[in-house]
Amino acid sequence: MKFFWIFLMLLSFSPLVFAANAAPLGLELGVATYTQVKQQVGGKTSLSDEGINKYSGGKMLQGNGDGLGIDGLSEITFIFDVSDKLAAVLMTLPKDSFAKTLSALSGKYKLLEKQVPFVGNASAKLQQGESVIELNAPHMSFAMSVHYLTKSLKQVFTQQASREFTAQEKQQADKF
């Protein structure tokens, strides 16, 4: 009986509770550095410097994803924060890989939301530690996006996008 209770206690501890952040291509968000990404990924595919990200204030690297072993990957962007830690990985894939990609990610990360209508926009949101993973497949597109983001970058993006939208609406209203 004693072993039964110990077994139940061990089962009650989810591995997700103790898990680190999402780690696309083995590069953990919030941990991997600009130098590590440049060495590990840059050795497999061509990466170019894309300047400074307006939301994170950090550097960006971009490539076409050739040589990374992800079927259909047509574009990949790495976004860093001001301390050169990886804050986001943005991928563009063919839309017809949505179900396969969601299935693979659901096996690794906690699924928070999923909308997969027969016709229309498909999306999903997953979480791991202090990171979120968002899949978006617009109805009238042949491509889908997979975004791995730290929660802090997601928050900054959401706040700034909201301010920009409000300013644009006010500017538009002022014209009437």
The full set of domain ranges for the chain reads 19-174
Question: Cα–Cα distances in Å, from 118 out to 115, 121, 122, 135, 139?
Answer: 10, 9, 9, 16, 10
Residue 39 has pLDDT above 80, yes or no: yes
Question: Cα–Cα distances in Å, from 116 out to 15, 73, 100?
Answer: 27, 21, 13
Question: Cα–Cα distances in Å, from 93 out to 21, 64, 75, 106, 173?
Answer: 22, 11, 8, 17, 38
**Confidence band for 116, pLDDT divided at 50, 70 and 90:** confident
Question: How far is it, in rounded angstroms, from Cα 72 to Cα 1?
Answer: 52
Q: What is the mean pLDDT of the chain?
A: 88
**Confidence band for 19, pLDDT divided at 50, 70 and 90:** low
The sign of the dihedral angle between the CA atoms of 140, 127, 150, 67 is negative
Residue 71 has pLDDT above 70, yes or no: yes
Residue 10 has pLDDT above 80, yes or no: no
Q: How many CB atoms lie within 10 A of CB 119?
A: 6
Residue 11 has pLDDT above 60, yes or no: no
Per-residue pLDDT, averaged over 157-169, amounts to 89
| Block residue for tokens 């509770």 | 17
Per-residue pLDDT, averaged over 154-161, amounts to 91
**Confidence band for 118, pLDDT divided at 50, 70 and 90:** confident
- 3-state helix, strand, coil split of the chain in percent (to 5) is 30, 35, 35
Number of residues assigned to the chain: 176
Comparing 155 with 14, the larger pLDDT belongs to 155
pLDDT tens string 85-115: 999 999 999 999 999 999 999 999 999 999 9
Question: How far is it, in rounded angstroms, from Cα 105 to Cα 109?
Answer: 6
Per-residue pLDDT, averaged over 151-155, amounts to 94
Which DSSP letter does residue 67 get?
T
State if pTM tops 0.75. Answer: yes
Question: How far is it, in rounded angstroms, from Cα 162 to Cα 168?
Answer: 10
